[in-house]
Amino acid sequence: AQTVTQSQPEMSVQEAETVTLSCTYDTSESDYYLFWYKQPPSRQMILVIRQEAYKQQNATENRFSVNFQKAAKSFSLKISDSQLGDAAMYFCAYRSAEGGGADGLTFGKGTHLIIQP
C-alpha cells in the first residue's frame, strides 16, 4: 500500500516571500501521479498542481512549482511571492497510474500554511 507523509503540520511565511512545503511518499510502483491540493476555510479541495512520475521535468503553475525527486520519493511544493489568499491547508496526494485510474487518491495529513501580512 502507498503512504504519503507530510512532516510539517504548520508553516508560516511573510507575504511576498517564498515557502516550501515537504512531502515524501512510499510506493513500489513506477508509474503514478502526484498532486498538491489546497483546502481553504471554504473546505473545498482545489487542485494546485500535478506531476506525472514518468516526466522528469518539474511541473509549474504560475507561482507554484514542485521539486520532484523520484529516486528519493520526494515531492515538495514551492510557493513564490506568497499572497494572503494562499493561506489554507495543503495536502500532498498520490494516485496509481494502473487500474485505469478508477481508484482514489492517497493523501498526507496536510500542512497548515499561514501567511503573515
Contact positions vs other proteins (CB under 8 A): 4, 33, 35, 37, 42-47, 50, 91, 95, 97, 100-110
Q: Which is nearer to other proteins, 39 or 74 (CB)?
A: 39
- Considering the complex, what minimum distance in angstroms separates the CB of residue 117 from other proteins? 26
d(CA 42, CA 89): 11
Task: Output the smallest distance, CB 14 to other proteins, in A.
Answer: 27
Helix (H, G, I), strand (E, B) or coil at 85: helix
Nearer to other proteins, 59 or 82 (CB): 59
In the complex, what is the shortest distance from the CB of residue 16 to other proteins, in angstroms, rounded to a whole number?
Answer: 28
Residue whose C-alpha cell is 498526507: 108
- Work out the number of other CB atoms within 10 angstroms of the CB of residue 71: 5
DSSP structure class, residue 100: G
Residue closer to other proteins by CB (options 42, 56) is: 42
| Cβ proximity to other proteins, 4 vs 87, nearer residue | 4
Residue type, 90: Y
CA 84 to chain centre: 19
Residue 91 beta carbon to other proteins: minimum distance, rounded to whole angstroms: 7
What does the alpha-carbon distance between residue 65 and residue 68 come to, in Å, rounded to a whole number? 10
